[in-house]
Structure 1
Amino acid sequence: MEYFTELGYLGLFIASFLAATILPLSSELVLTALLLNGLSPENLVIIATIGNVLGSLTNYGLGYWASKTVIQKWLRMSESEFVRAEERFKKYGIIALLFAWVPIIGDPLTVMAGILRIRLLWFLMLVTTGKFLRYYILATIILQ
C-alpha cells in the first residue's frame, strides 16, 4: 500500500482500478492514508470512484466478450456456482449493481452484468452511484 500512497492521486487511481478486479487490493486503505496526509477529499473521492468504475467496466467487458469457460476459470467458479450466480443476479435485478463495491460479490456482479448484456448506461449509472457513495461516506467518516 505504501507504494500507492507515495504516488498520491495516481496511486489511488491505480489502486482503485485494480481493487475492482479480482486482485486483492484495498483502495480504502490508500484513500485513508491520502486523506490523512491532507490531499483534497473531493479530488480523492472522484479519482477513487473513476478508477474503481473503470475496473468494474473491465469486468463487464470480460463478461460481455469472453467465453463462459474463460470467465469460470477467471472467477474460479464451478458450473453450479456460475448458474447460482446468474440466478441470483436475475432474481435481484440490475439494482444489485449498486452493491458492486462489496468485497467478494462485487466482481462477479459486474462480470455477470456483462454476460447478461445489461445496458451499459444502466450499468454505469448504478455502479458509479454505489462506488461514489462508498468513497464519499468513508471520506466523511475519516475526516470527522
Structure 2
Amino acid sequence: MSAFWELAGMFVSAFTSATLLPGSSEAVLAGIVALGTASATSAVIVATLGNTVGSVVNWAMGLFAARFRHHRRFPLTPEQYERYAAIYAKWGVWSLLLSWTPVIGDPLTVVAGVMRTPLWIVVPLVMLAKGARYVAVAGVVVML
C-alpha cells in the first residue's frame, strides 16, 4: 500500500475518531509509524489535521444545534451536556486543551460550539492538544 493511501486512511480514522463516532486513530498511527511506510512526521501531521477537522465538525454541530439541546437526538444527553458545560464554565476555553482525552474531549468541542466560542480560538487549542497526543503516541512507537 502506498504512503498516500495509508495517510488518507489515517486522516479518515482521525477525523471519525474526533467526532462522536467511535474510532481508534492512535492504533492506526502506531501501525503506520511501526511499519515505516510513511514518515512519522507526516503521519502525525495528517492525524492532527484530521482530528482537528473532526473537532470543528463537533463545534459546528454545537453551534447550530444549541437551540435543540433538549431534543432527544441532540448528540449529548442533558446530563452529559450539564457536566461538560460545568467544566467549560469553570475552565473556559482552556478546557479545550483536554480535547485529546477519551470520553470528555469530543463533547467539550460540541459544548464550545454551543457556547459560541469563536473558531479562531477553538482551532489552535484543539490542534495543540491533539497534536501533542499524536506526537506522544508516535514517540513511544519510535522508541520501541
- What's the TM-score once normalised by structure 1's chain length? 0.88
- Using the TM superposition, give the Cα deviation of residue 84 of structure 1 relative to its aligned residue in structure 2, in angstroms: 3.1
- Using the TM superposition, give the Cα deviation of residue 72 of structure 1 relative to its aligned residue in structure 2, in angstroms: 5.9
Moved more, 63-72 or 12-21: 63-72
- Aligned residue pair count: 139
Choose the corresponding residue for 2:29, options 22, 28, 31: 31
User: Deviation string for 1:64-121 (max 9, x for gaps)?
Assistant: 011333776343413x442332122111111110111111101110000001011211
Q: Is the 8 A contact 2:99 2:106 kept in 1?
A: yes
Partner of 2:133: 134
- What's the TM-score once normalised by structure 2's chain length? 0.88
Partner of 1:13: 11
User: Deviation string for 1:19-39 (max 9, x for gaps)?
Assistant: 001111100000011111102
Q: Is the 8 A contact 1:63 1:71 kept in 2?
A: no
Mark the CA change 1:70 to 1:107 in structure 2 (over 3 Å): closer, same or farther.
farther
User: Cα RMSD (Å) of the superposition?
Assistant: 2.0
Q: Could you tell me the percent identity over the aligned residues? A: 35
> CA–CA distance in 2 between the matches of 1:136 and 1:37?
16
Where does the alignment leave 5 or more consecutive residues of structure 2 unmatched?
A: none
List structure 1 runs of 4+ shifted beyond 4 angstroms. none
Q: Is the 8 A contact 2:18 2:52 kept in 1?
A: yes
Q: Is the 8 A contact 2:88 2:95 kept in 1?
A: yes
- Using the TM superposition, give the Cα deviation of residue 138 of structure 1 relative to its aligned residue in structure 2, in angstroms: 1.0
Partner of 2:92: 93
